[in-house]
Amino acid sequence: MQVILAADVGGTHARIGLVALHPDQAYAPATLAYQSYRCADWLGLAEILEDFLGRQVGNQNPVVRCALAVAGYVRNDELVAENLRWPVRVSELHARLRFEQLDIVNDFEALACATQFVRREDAFDVIAALGGAGPTVVIGPGTGLGSAALVPVDGHRIVVPGEAGHIALAPGNEHEIEVLRLLGRNRPYVHTGHVLSGPGLLNLYRVLAEIDGITPALEEPAAISAAALRGDDPLARETLAMFCALLGSLAGDLAVVFKASAGVYLAGGILPAIRDFLLASDFRVRFLNKGLMRPFLAAVPVRLIEHGQLGVLGAAALAEGGTRHVAPSA
């Protein structure tokens, strides 16, 4: 059994785990140890990885293989990722931590790979449906907006990368058309990430304040969500309601594009904290509002998952060579 150090590194948190990869691909990877770190508390990724290894492994049985899932890519030895807090150089990680092999994978590709390991009890139904065999889509607003798909091919499953955060924002009513118009004043192109992300939530809040003739009082996405959940700030509630509606439209679009009959998984750092608000929103109405594709979408389950350990599992599995021969999730 091979043990690999795996990490899902975002702009806010670095999630680190030791993952055991069973030689028999009938078995899913297993997390032996796991810890989440706040990136702002550390000087760099190497320091985080050293701390984790020191706590979990010590000087016994050194781990020589690592897989990093990040929202970025490698260019001239440097990890290029818009949301990372510090520079990361691959050669320095190799030398400092003495890795024999270091794999860099996309964070949402890793998450899509990991959806095949999701147990029924680890996901929360946003839209309950039976689903069926076929592709799975994962989408998640956080510091940015990520997406990918898991597609069955000839008895195996392959991960299809996606960039849903960069496709054009599609308004669904007159109010959203006005939002799009105002967002487009100072930029040549408005994409979904401009509203369906943490920074996007703030963009949306400010534009709606302008439309409503209100001076915006909040400066952080988390404060907007918190005010909306408390129910004492009409502008914050309007903002989060539109956020959920637009997310439903985009999730429905991706389900149609991939014919994701196995389901849509919602991830990212924002949604678990607003779960009840999401359920009461127009997410479902907008997800199903696809004309002739409505009957198909009515059979597609939509489930909320915690980003956490799944990204770590997916990073390890993807670095190993992709997906495993496991039964589809119920």
Task: List, for residues 220-234, the tens digit of each pLDDT value.
Answer: 999 999 999 999 999
Which range has highest mean pLDDT (18-22, 186-190, 206-210)?
Answer: 206-210
C-alpha closest to that of 2 among 23, 28, 26: 23
Average pLDDT value for residue range 36-63: 86
Average pLDDT of the chain is 89
- The residue length of the chain stands at 330
- The Cα–Cα gap between 144 and 72 comes to 11
Q: Structure tokens of 76?
A: 């001239």
Confirm if 183 and 213 have CB atoms less than 8 A apart. no
How many Cβ atoms are within 10 Å of 31's Cβ, its own excluded? 16
Confirm if 281 and 266 have CB atoms less than 8 A apart. no
What pLDDT was estimated at residue 95? Answer: 83
Query: What are the chain's domains?
Result: 2-112+309-320 (3.30.420.40), 124-304 (3.40.367.20)
Task: Rounding to the nearest 10 degrees, give the CA dihedral for residues 34, 120, 160, 24.
Answer: 70
What pLDDT was estimated at residue 60? Answer: 66
User: In this predicted model, what pLDDT tens digit does every residue of 99-145 receive, in sequence order?
Assistant: 888 888 888 999 999 998 888 788 999 999 988 889 999 999 988 89
Residue 231 main-chain phi, psi, to 5 deg: 85, 10
Is pLDDT above 90 for 5?
A: yes
- The Cα–Cα gap between 83 and 326 comes to 33
CA 236 to chain centre: 23
- The Cα–Cα gap between 147 and 150 comes to 11
Which of the 8 DSSP states describes residue 141? E
Q: Structure tokens of 315?
A: 């990073």
Identity of the amino acid at 213 = G
Beta-carbon contacts of 36 under 8 Å, excluding residues fewer than 6 positions away, are 13, 14, 15, 16, 308
Q: Structure tokens of 132?
A: 């069926």
What pLDDT was estimated at residue 326? Answer: 32
3-state class percentages of the chain: helix first, strand second, coil last, to nearest 5: 40, 25, 35
- Longest CA span, the chain: 63
pTM score > 0.85 for this model?
yes
Confirm if 147 and 140 have CB atoms less than 8 A apart. yes
- The Cα–Cα gap between 274 and 49 comes to 31
Name the helix (H) or strand (E) containing 150: strand 145-153
For residues 268 and 15, the model is more confident at: 15
User: In this predicted model, what pLDDT tens digit does every residue of 72-101 receive, in sequence order?
Assistant: 778 888 887 767 778 888 888 888 888 888
Q: Structure tokens of 92?
A: 């320095």
For residues 90 and 62, the model is more confident at: 90
